[in-house]
Amino acid sequence: MNTKILISLVLLLVLSSSAFALSTTAQGYVYITIVNNPPKLTNVHLDSRYNCAAKVVDEDPATTNIEQRWFANGEPVEKSRIKYGDYVRCELTPIDSSGEEGATYTLEFKMPKPKAQFAHVILNML
């Protein structure tokens, strides 16, 4: 066997055994801090009824609320007060059960005219 390889193997064994001896005699404490990560939203979108919707990503998504704030033409409003032609902004903020807030997501759009709805009318003539 090549002497360089043999010397390298011997050195490797000596160093690894001394490292093992050092690590088994070392004492100390390890502290682990568990941190609550803020909740996140994914798939933020406007649904077919002009509601802001999103999926929550959190350690416990069932206990995370999504706070919604609505604005019409730059002024805070209740969603029920929004009308055709308004420039609308919806802000979504996830808040988990410990009160940790995630990033706020914003959707902006102009409220379109409602689609015409027709009802079938049957006239009975005598």
The reply to whether 126 falls in a domain is no
Distance between CA atoms of 119 and 124, rounded to whole angstroms? 16
**Along the 126 residues of the chain, how does pLDDT read in single tens digits?**
455 555 665 666 565 555 455 555 667 888 888 788 899 999 999 998 899 999 999 988 889 999 999 999 999 999 999 999 999 999 999 999 989 999 999 999 999 987 766 665 565 555
Residue recorded with tokens 């649904």? 47
The reply to whether 22 falls in a domain is no
The reply to whether 58 falls in a domain is yes
Total structural domains in the chain?
1
Q: What is the DSSP letter of 45?
A: E
Look up residue 26 and give its two tokens: 């070392």
Contacts for 29-35: CB closer than 8 Å, 24+ residues apart: none
The reply to whether 23 falls in a domain is no
pLDDT score of 121:
58
The reply to whether 70 falls in a domain is yes
CA 34, 38, 43, 48 torsion: positive or negative?
Answer: positive
The reply to whether 89 falls in a domain is yes
pTM of the model: 0.64
Residue recorded with tokens 């049957």? 122
The reply to whether 13 falls in a domain is no
Query: How would DSSP label each residue in 99-123?
Result: --B---EEEEEEPPPPPP------P
The reply to whether 53 falls in a domain is yes
pLDDT score of 1:
46
105 is in which domain, residue-wise? 40-110
Say if CB 58 and CB 94 are below 8 A apart.
yes
